[in-house]
Amino acid sequence: MDFNEGEILLIDKPYKWTSFDAVKKIRGGLRIKKIGHAGTLDPLATGLLIMCTGKMTKKIDELQAKEKEYTGEFILGKTTPSIDIETPFDSEVSTDHLTENTVKVALRNFLGTIEQTPPIYSAIKVDGERLYEKARKGENAEIKSRKVFIKEFLLTEINIPSIKFKIVCSKGTYIRSIVRDFGELLKVGAYLNELRRTRIGDFSIKDAESPLEFVQRYRVEGGSK
């Protein structure tokens, strides 16, 4: 592979790594001059991160626009400010009254074109500052809602309060927002416990390697040209 000329890399981002951590590891480990990624993953999410090097960085916008697929788990009855386990729990209510049918009926509200508001703990910039930076300082910000498309939303395992799922969605969809809104619809709250991106367009996580594995393999094979 000629990384400095231009390649598309499929990386399996590890848990608690930022997307930039993964880019930094590969750029430094293989001495790649120009590299970027096509779509941020939250630090607590894992899965497919597409990286482009050299001339292929021109394809980043095209790749970011592709359909995404995720699997994961959310927990009903508890909430956190970040809608995941990055921040402490701030509410808890009973879910004893919920049934599998109640959850399945709620699901219907999250198919097709829906409107959602991104989480306050997100990388969106408002007035030149990332929302998560404002959130960590306790500042409020006006966040505009957006329309996204949910092509498929399957509940793969219902064991209340745990719900495991698979989602196929458009660019710009926040899974944490879906989880938040799902919990609010059921009047019990919810947080995202686990998230893995398994596909971007035709690119699959099955063909990806961890940053450490990738760097080690190409160092052994001779590194970048």
> Considering 12, 42, 84, 181, which one is annotated as catalytic?
42
Cβ neighbors of 156 (< 8 A, separation 6 or more) are: 71, 164, 165, 166
Give exposure, 25-42, as e/b (b: 16+ Cβ within 10 Å).
bbbebbebeebebbbebb
Residues in the chain, total: 225
**12 given a catalytic annotation:** no
Dihedral of the CA atoms 171, 130, 120, 203 (nearest 10)?
20
Q: Is 84 exposed, middle or buried (0-12, 13-18, 19+ CB in 10 A)?
A: buried
Residues catalogued as catalytic? 42
